[in-house]
Amino acid sequence: MHNYGGRGNPYLPLWEHVPDGEPKVFEDPDRPGHYRAYIIGSHDVSANRYCGPDIRIWSAPIENLNEWRDDGPVFTYQAANGRWDVMYAPDLVEVIEKDAKGKDKKVYYLYPHSRGPRREAMVCKGDRPDGPFTPLNLDENGAAIDGSCIGFDPSVFIEKVTDKDDPDYAKGFRAYAFWGFQHSTGAQLDQETMYSVRPGTERVDPLLPASSSYGRVRGPQDAASYPALAEGQNPGDFNFFEASSIRQVGNKYVMIFSGYSGPDYGLGSTNSALRYCYGDSPLGPWKSGGVAVDSRGPILNEDGSKLITANFAHNTHGSIEQINGQWYIFYHRPPRGNGNARQAMVAPVKITWDEKPVSEGGKVTITGYDPYAPDEVWTAKASNGDEYTGAEVTSEGFNIYGLPPYAYYSAGYACVFMNKEGGQNPNSLQDNWDIWNNEQVSNVNAGDIIGYKYFGLGGLKKDSKGIEAFDGTTSKQHSSFNVWFKRTAGEGGINIKVMMDGPWKNEVWNGKEIGKIKIPASSPVDKIEKYTIDVSEFVDDVEGKHAIYLVFDAAVDGAIGVFYGCGFSTKTTSLKRPVPPTLNVTIGGKAIELPAEPVHSNDNNGYTDNTHYEMDYKLEPGQKSKVSVECLWSTMQFWVEQIKGDEGTATITAEYLFPGTLSKQTKVYKINISK
């Protein structure tokens, strides 16, 4: 079990890849009366395809939303042929049932979305939100039994029943399921099974209109073909793709789903966005609400005349959840567009609603949230009239007042990756699979802009909404800014402009150059260097939160280097970049290089993490097979299992205790030795 005390967005470690996250708040089974936020997701551990063999859960106490804990692989399924099912986007719900003595008992239904043959509709049950879970509806051949109805990207909503006159009062709840890929379906579930349609009810199919791109309806074009739409709704406004998820907001119901977006605010069509609709019941009728978040991070262009994208697209999946009175939207991002190493993201949103029924004109509105704006609303509006009203894509995660400035932030926490043409460098943000190294690096081309939104330069005086108080940049500290960069271009100098609030100096962005890092042509190549500049004149004693952008200028075109990270420091305390431990290994006295890439998961090995490494080694004539290990890190322990003779598999088990924590991560290296 790994406890991660990091800050930023992604809010899980940068080596962790949990897409399709479904957020929930449940009572902590180990601390009654206290609550935890849970993220239930699939797990990109295969590296060459979506997802992996496990449903992964991380959780955090709601009083500290930076203290995330890996609750592990809560469910896997190995078929009779020995192969492991791949699990796609799941859901998890809590239900109050009666135990054998008639007392109320919390139980949890997991909808794991297995991609195994005839197991897509599998449903599991457990007594804790973190499992273990047991399948309910599989026959002796491992297939879902007749009547199992739930399909692709399952979402289940539990409607509590408190009215004594309601026919379901004795049961205490009703359950609804939603599913579909490029086709939307909904149904009320039988509370006795939680996997079949309730007797006396029928599926609603289609539920929402699906599209093949924004505004292009897939299937019937007329509104009459969609009985679950509210009167007057245009089927082309919904744009359903996949990823159903439903929540109750006030007296209304909100459906979140992955849907084609972009042309409605001046950008190209993408399904790397979440949209929403709302209605008076869990099955509608529905009204379209628009975009809730676009993972491409829409922002203004240089002159503010139109919107452009600051980040990458592939797909996304998530939902909304209220924690500590604040609404958030959860989604995932694909580094440089890679859909096989997706990362969990979150953003605050402002959700408003009225008491009027939707059928009488009532509505729900989801917008970006800015705690420092007078109305707490954030949008991006261009002078041509295009306006993106969804959540802002930032570096903050749950740190909605800005990142504590006096810390190191890897390039993996940047939220703006733009090239000089206003698009994205396709070779920028690299994947990380190293569980000892919470860092992602970004390749840089001349003209690239990398930005962090936002740093809490004004500090946070007291704990708020699950975030601990922190110091801002003050004149007492005399702040400096630090950048770690590796030059790879062999010709010409490089200038890194450090900009605050905007990457451009103009009336639209009000960007301010607070420093410039000059890297001469004579500087070493392929060496990571730390560069420090005094920025106290610009950042000390400012209020609120501010964006920082790095603008990379060079005398040459194309690739110029690798950006590692940045952060602020004080006059008395320098900033250090965390460096992961290394093992020095010899075989028979000869140094060897351990593999940098783990063995990724596949259907045969069923690996649920990136802790397994393997290599082949051939002994030279006369060379002994003894494996020796040295490590300079005091918090590292290791054990070596030697082979007998000259052939076999030696094993190194290395356990790293992260400094200043109680968190350990273990790697296993297998060395196949032969003559």
Same domain, 588 and 557: no
Whether 410 maps to a domain, the answer reads no
Domain that holds residue 190: 82-388
CATH code of the domain covering residue 470? 2.60.120.260
Same domain, 120 and 240: yes
Q: Which of 510, 542, 569 finishes a domain? A: 569
pLDDT in tens, 569-618: 999 999 999 999 999 999 999 999 999 999 999 999 999 999 999 999 99
Same domain, 252 and 205: yes
Contact between 561 and 568 (Cβ < 8 Å)? no
Whether 343 maps to a domain, the answer reads yes
Q: How many domains does the chain have?
A: 3
Same domain, 243 and 349: yes
Whether 10 maps to a domain, the answer reads no
Whether 468 maps to a domain, the answer reads yes
Q: Which of 357, 388, 419 finishes a domain? A: 388
Q: Is the pLDDT of residue 489 over 90?
A: no
Whether 407 maps to a domain, the answer reads no
Contact between 27 and 33 (Cβ < 8 Å)? yes
pLDDT for the residue numbered 626: 96
In this predicted structure, which of 261-270, 369-378, 553-562, 654-663 has the lowest mean pLDDT? Answer: 654-663
Contact between 483 and 496 (Cβ < 8 Å)? yes
CATH code of the domain covering residue 655? 2.60.40
Distances (CA, A) of 219 to 153, 175, 538, 645: 20, 28, 56, 67
Percent of the chain past pLDDT 90, that is, above it, reads: 94
Same domain, 266 and 373: yes
Among candidate residues 118, 84, 113, the one with its CA nearest the CA of residue 22: 113
Q: Provide mean pLDDT across the span 156-162.
A: 97
* Mean predicted lDDT score pLDDT of the chain: 96
Question: Rounded CA gap, 321 and 323, in Å?
Answer: 6
Q: Provide mean pLDDT across the span 40-62.
A: 98
Same domain, 383 and 512: no
Q: Provide mean pLDDT across the span 66-81.
A: 97
Q: Is the pLDDT of residue 449 over 90?
A: yes
Same domain, 246 and 377: yes
Q: Which of 569, 596, 611 finishes a domain? A: 569
Q: Which residues are CB-contacts of 578 (< 8 A; sequence separation ≥ 6)?
A: 408, 438, 439
> Where are the alpha helices (H) located in 32-188, listed in sequence order?
none
pLDDT for the residue numbered 262: 98
pLDDT for the residue numbered 492: 86
Q: Is the pLDDT of residue 416 over 80?
A: yes
Whether 106 maps to a domain, the answer reads yes
Same domain, 316 and 456: no
Contact between 435 and 597 (Cβ < 8 Å)? no
pLDDT band per the 50, 70, 90 thresholds, residue 88:
very high
Q: Provide mean pLDDT across the span 315-321.
A: 98
Same domain, 603 and 561: no
* pTM (two decimals): 0.97
pLDDT for the residue numbered 1: 58
pLDDT for the residue numbered 101: 82
Whether 66 maps to a domain, the answer reads no
Percent of the chain past pLDDT 70, that is, above it, reads: 100
pLDDT for the residue numbered 490: 75
pLDDT for the residue numbered 366: 99
Same domain, 604 and 558: no
Q: Provide mean pLDDT across the span 637-650.
A: 95
Same domain, 144 and 232: yes
Whether 74 maps to a domain, the answer reads no
Same domain, 115 and 138: yes
The bridge status of strand 319-323 relative to strand 307-309 is unpaired
> Residue 236, exposed/middle/buried by CB under 10 A (0-12, 13-18, 19+)?
middle
CATH code of the domain covering residue 349? 2.115.10
